[in-house]
């Protein structure tokens, strides 16, 4: 857990955007608001918030929406992502579907988990996805 002022200004802006867009979350079923902002290697940023559906399997997480927005704009190289939710206690990391989406774009970028009091925890995608399956695995030697 780290102090807000220890974040570099670009990451502070990323985290602020994630916290702000959380207000747009559509979560009438779980009431679990999540906001996210992704930083591309070219410096551009894209937001996402969770969007629930009465057919729960069709719900889309904030993290994937941010990535989808970046990809829609032609961006596929990422530097960092800030993820904000309303949990005050321990830090919460992304679900399995989001983790699989992260690894699709490599393991060498960082996630900043942001709590409402602006404390944060940094974890790399690689740390969050040990023994992951990604695009390189489709090229592995087979029998």
State the 10-residue block means of pLDDT for the chain, 143 residues long: 83 97 98 98 98 96 98 98 95 95 96 95 95 92 92
**What per-residue confidence (pLDDT) applies to 4?**
82
**What per-residue confidence (pLDDT) applies to 97?**
96
Sheet holding 110-114, edge to edge: 45-49, 34-40, 78-85, 110-114, 120-124
**What per-residue confidence (pLDDT) applies to 3?**
79
User: Residue 129: CA atoms inside 13 Å, Cβ hemisphere, count?
Assistant: 24
**What per-residue confidence (pLDDT) applies to 5?**
84
By annotation, the residues acting in catalysis are 63
Helix (H) or strand (E) holding 122: strand 120-124
**What per-residue confidence (pLDDT) applies to 1?**
53
How many whole angstroms separate alpha carbon 44 and alpha carbon 29? 32
**What per-residue confidence (pLDDT) applies to 21?**
98
**Contact by Cβ (8 Å): 29, 7:** no
């Amino acid at each position: 857990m780290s102090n807000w002022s220890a974040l570099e200004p670009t990451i502070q802006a990323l985290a602020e955007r994630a916290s702000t867009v959380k207000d747009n979350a559509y979560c009438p079923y779980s009431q679990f608001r999540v906001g996210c902002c992704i930083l591309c290697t070219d410096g551009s940023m894209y937001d996402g918030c969770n969007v629930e559906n009465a057919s729960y399997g069709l719900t889309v997480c904030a993290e994937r929406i941010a990535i989808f927005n970046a990809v829609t704009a032609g961006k596929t190289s990422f530097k960092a992502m800030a993820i904000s939710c309303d949990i005050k206690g321990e830090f919460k990391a992304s679900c399995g579907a989001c983790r699989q989406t992260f690894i699709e774009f490599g393991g060498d970028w960082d996630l900043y988990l942001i709590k409402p009091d602006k404390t944060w925890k940094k974890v790399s995608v690689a740390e969050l996805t040990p023994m992951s399956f990604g695009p390189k695995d489709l090229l592995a030697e087979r029998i």
